[in-house]
């Protein structure tokens, strides 16, 4: 077996970091909703897919300029997230957490099923954010879109952080996450915060989808695997811990890509199992995650 060269290792790490950025955003989306509702939103990956598909439709098909298409896509997917909360989560009043989780599983299948006839089965290529030849880092060639992916991830995480820290809605959402009853006593409309969390989570997911689409192509089924990996990341970082979720995403991205690099020939197909093995390992060793505080 040939060990990968240094350039290859650098390449794997950088690719891992960029894809990890997407996992990080998906994980962040999980965390936002989990903190507001205790629910794991299994439809998180579908927000990513919708973001990618909207971008393809608005920019490549309808020829709307990139920045406008970007903003429009985010707005549309945010609206879809809010609608989902109003139509499916809100009406199930007093439902148990298991019931709500099953509803989100249903929603995820439904959205995917709806996307299939609209956008078809084949992956659709998406336009990169900017033209240009790949840049060279320590001998490894990095396509520009990979940097955009990383940039989008960092900017989005920053924006969410500022939103939580400095806006009144963000502060109310944090209060809801910490203690729902106390938040309600302080006059916070908890149900509206749940709505906000779905909208915000959808927006974050859409951003991830638009950034990764030029790298992997957009397809109706892309959300499933990204959702699952992001979910592994959220658990790895400690469910409910935003910073942990983001770090978890990067860790899973890098480990996964290094595993492909070091895998013996013919075993790279096991790549998709890596995230789940990490997930199982962390659940068995430290279920509260790397950065989580164990809760009763």
Q: Name the residues that contact other proteins, by CB under 8 A.
A: 39-40, 88, 91-92, 95, 97-103, 105-114, 116-117, 224, 228, 231-232, 235, 239, 269-270, 272-273, 276-277, 279-280, 283-284, 287
Name the residue nearer to other proteins (CB basis): 202 or 210: 202
C-beta closer to other proteins: residue 133 or 294? 294
Query: Closer to other proteins at the Cβ: 187 or 266?
Result: 266
Numbers of helices and strands, H then E, in the chain: 11, 2
Q: Which is nearer to other proteins, 199 or 239 (CB)?
A: 239
The nearest distance, CB 90 to other proteins, in angstroms, is: 10
Structure tokens at 178: 């910490």
**Minimum distance from residue 221 beta carbon to other proteins (Å):** 10
CB of 136 to other proteins, least distance (A): 34
Compute the least distance from the CB of residue 187 to other proteins, in Å: 29
Q: Are the beta carbons of 81 and 92 closer than 8 angstroms? A: no
Alpha helices in 120-241 (DSSP H): 144-166, 168-178, 180-185, 190-216, 222-236
Tell me the helix, strand and coil percentages in the chain, rounded to 5: 75, 5, 25
CB of 235 to other proteins, least distance (A): 6
Q: How far is residue 31's CA from residue 238's CA, in Å, rounded to a whole number?
A: 9
The dihedral formed by the CA atoms of 165, 253, 281 and 293, expressed in degrees to the nearest 10: -10
CB of 181 to other proteins, least distance (A): 19
Asked whether the beta carbons of 47 and 77 are under 8 A apart, the reply is: yes
133-164 in b/e form (b: 16+ CB < 10 A) is eeeeeeebebbbbbbbbbebbeebbeebeebb
Distance CA 88, CA 102 (A): 11
CB of 65 to other proteins, least distance (A): 33
Residues in the chain: 296
CB of 117 to other proteins, least distance (A): 7
Between 207 and 240, name the residue whose CB sits nearer to other proteins: 240
Hey, is 141 helix, strand or coil? strand
Identity of the residue, 163 or 262, whose beta carbon is nearer to other proteins in the bound complex: 262
By beta-carbon proximity to other proteins, the closer residue of 118 and 181 is 118
Which of 52/115 has CB closer to other proteins? 115
Neighbouring residues of 8: CB distance < 8 A, sequence distance ≥ 6: 140, 261
> Residue 241's closest CA among 159, 188, 174?
174
């Amino acid at each position: 077996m040939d060990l990968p060269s240094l350039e290859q290792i650098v390449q794997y790490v950088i690719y891992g970091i960029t894809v990890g950025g997407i996992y990080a955003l998906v994980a962040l989306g999980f965390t936002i909703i989990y903190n507001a509702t205790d629910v794991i939103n299994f439809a998180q990956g579908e927000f990513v897919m919708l973001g990618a598909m909207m971008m393809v439709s608005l920019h490549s098909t309808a020829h709307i300029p990139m920045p406008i298409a970007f903003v429009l896509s985010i707005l549309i997917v945010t609206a879809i997230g809010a609608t989902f909360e109003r139509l499916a989560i809100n009406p199930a009043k007093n439902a148990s957490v298991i019931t709500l989780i099953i509803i989100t599983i249903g929603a995820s299948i439904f959205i995917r099923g709806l996307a299939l006839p609209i956008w078809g089965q084949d992956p659709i290529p998406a336009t990169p954010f900017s033209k240009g030849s790949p840049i060279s880092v320590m001998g490894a060639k990095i396509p520009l879109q990979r940097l955009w992916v990383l940039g989008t991830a960092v900017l989005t995480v920053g924006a969410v952080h500022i939103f939580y820290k400095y806006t009144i809605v963000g502060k109310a959402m944090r209060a809801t996450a910490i203690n729902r009853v106390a938040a309600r006593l302080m006059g916070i409309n908890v149900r509206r915060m749940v709505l906000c969390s779905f909208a915000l989570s959808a927006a974050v997911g859409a951003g991830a989808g638009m950034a990764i689409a030029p790298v992997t192509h957009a397809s109706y089924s892309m959300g499933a695997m990204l959702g699952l990996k992001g979910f592994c990341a959220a658990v790895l970082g400690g469910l409910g811990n935003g910073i942990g979720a983001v770090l978890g995403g990067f860790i899973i991205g890098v480990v996964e890509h290094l595993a492909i690099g070091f895998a013996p020939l013919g075993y790279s197909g096991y790549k998709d199992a890596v995230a789940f093995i990490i997930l199982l390992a962390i659940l068995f060793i430290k279920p509260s995650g790397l950065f989580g505080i164990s809760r009763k």
